[in-house]
Amino acid sequence: MRGSSRALMLALALALALALPLGLGGCAGGLGGLITKSPPAAFNLDAARDFRGSGRIRGQLAVAEPVALAALDSEKIVVRPTPAEAAAMPDAQWQDRLPKLMQARIIESFENAGALRAVGRPGERFATDYVLTTDVRAFEISAADSSAVIEIAAKIMRDRSGRVMAARVFRIAVPSTEHAGPSAIAALNEAFGKFERELVLWATRVV
C-alpha cells in the first residue's frame, strides 16, 4: 500500500510540474499579444513650397509655438461627428504634438519663401524684430460638413514693445468624403498648406 501511495503522489507531482509551464506559457502568449499590438500609424504635416519671389528681404521673425486647447495639444487627430462632439481618429496620430509639429512646418514655410533675413523659435540666438503668435481654434475632420477644417488666429507683435502690428483669423475648409485614414489626413494637410501659404504672404507684408 505504501508503495502504491508513493507512486500515486509522484505521478500527481509530475502532472502538476508539466501543467505549470503550459499555464505560464498561455499567460505569456496573452501578454505577448498585447505587447506586439501594432501602434497607430504616425502622420506628418508638410511645409508650403514654391513661393514666387516676394521682392526685398524683410525683418527677422520668431515663430512661437501655437497655443491650443487640450483636445488639440496632443498627437491625436481630431474628428468631430457633430459640432458638439470630439473624438480621436482610430489607428492614426500625428508624429508629434500638433502645436510643435505646426511650429516646425510654419518656420520651414517661411524659410522656403526666402522673404525674411532670419526666422526661428523664440530664444534662439538671433536678434528678433517681430514675434508671430497663433491660437489654434480648429484642426479637425468635420463629419457633419464632410470637410477638413482649420481655424487659426494669428498676431504679429514687435518683440521689444509687445505692440500688435497686425492680427488675422484664418479659416480653411477642404472637402473630405472620408472621415478617417490617409485620405482624411491628406485633406487636413491640404488645408494646412493653404493656411501656411496665406500666413507667409500676409506676414511678410507686415514684418
pLDDT of 55: 59
Rounded to an integer, what is the distance from CA 37 to the centroid of its chain?
A: 21
Residue 33: pLDDT band with limits 50, 70, 90? very low
What rounded mean pLDDT belongs to the chain? 86
pTM of the model: 0.81
Mean of pLDDT values over 172-180: 97
The Cα 52–Cα 136 span in angstroms is 27
How large is the greatest C-alpha to C-alpha distance in the chain, in angstroms? Answer: 107
Q: How many Cα atoms within 13 Å fall on the side-chain side of residue 149?
A: 18
pLDDT digits (tens, 9 = 90+) for 142-166: 999 999 999 999 999 999 999 999 9
DSSP 8-class letter at 96: S
pLDDT digits (tens, 9 = 90+) for 87-143: 999 999 999 999 999 999 999 999 999 999 999 999 998 899 999 999 999 999 999
How far apart are the two ends of the chain, measured CA to CA in Å? 101
Higher-confidence residue of 179 and 54: namely: 179
The Cα 100–Cα 108 span in angstroms is 13
Mean of pLDDT values over 50-56: 69
Which residue carries 488666429 as its cell?
153
Q: What is residue 87's three-state secondary structure?
A: strand
Q: How many Cα atoms within 13 Å fall on the side-chain side of residue 11?
A: 6
Residue 2: pLDDT band with limits 50, 70, 90? very low
Residue 36: pLDDT band with limits 50, 70, 90? low
Residue 82: pLDDT band with limits 50, 70, 90? very high
Mean of pLDDT values over 200-206: 94
Residue 23: pLDDT over 80: no
pLDDT of 66: 98
Residue type, 42: A
Contact call for residues 149 and 140 (beta carbons, < 8 A)? yes
